[in-house]
Amino acid sequence: MEYLMLFISAIFINNIVLVQYLGTCPFMGTSKSTDVAIGMGAAVIFVMLMAVAFTWPLQHYVLTPYGIGYLQTIVFILVIASLVQFVELFLKKVIPPLHASLGLFLPLITTNCAVMGVAIMVQRGEYPFFKALLFSLATGLGFLIALVIISSIRERLDISPVPAVFRGIPVALITAGVMSLVFLAFQGMAA
């Protein structure tokens, strides 16, 4: 039951983008098309899972035992950057259209604070390894769900009669704010 609550909480109650406001750059940048949003969400899920899978053992078997925990940020950034390079090369070889549509936003996963935030939250929460992987998967799914929802809304808004001053990013920010309020309503359900 504890794992189920953690899973649901990471997706809805403590959504990484809409409640904790981490990872808003790719959230706003890749949400113009649902296809691109799904690709970006999948890439972020993969990078989050792999980042936690690599950073958890590094923290528990290298940084903490040797008293070099102050290097956590640098080590985690290097791990995440390496993983993003791997994902970029994989997408370039296997799915070139997705690689082209993600464009600049794919390398920006390296600096996506949601990925780094999850790696650090796992360490602060002192989760065991499998619980940490579940948390990172659920957080990535929450990111994907939020991204798909806003991209669907933005696609609809592109063909709707929106006043000129609100077109583009302004209406996207308003939409994201309303979505944040909706996801904040889930916090009342966590008893």
Helices 34-58, 129-158: inter-axial angle, 10-degree rounding: 160
* Average pLDDT, integer, range 86-99: 87
pLDDT at 3 over 90: yes
DSSP state of 191: -
57 — pLDDT class (breaks 50, 70, 90): very high
Which residues make Cβ contacts (< 8 Å) with residue 150, sequence separation at least 6?
27, 31, 37, 172, 175, 176, 179
pLDDT at 109 over 70: yes
The pLDDT tens digits for 19-39 are 998 988 888 888 888 988 898
The Cα–Cα gap between 48 and 114 comes to 8
Alpha carbon distance 19, 187 (integer Å): 10
Phi, psi at residue 27, to the nearest 5°?
A: -60, -45
State the pLDDT at residue 25. Answer: 83
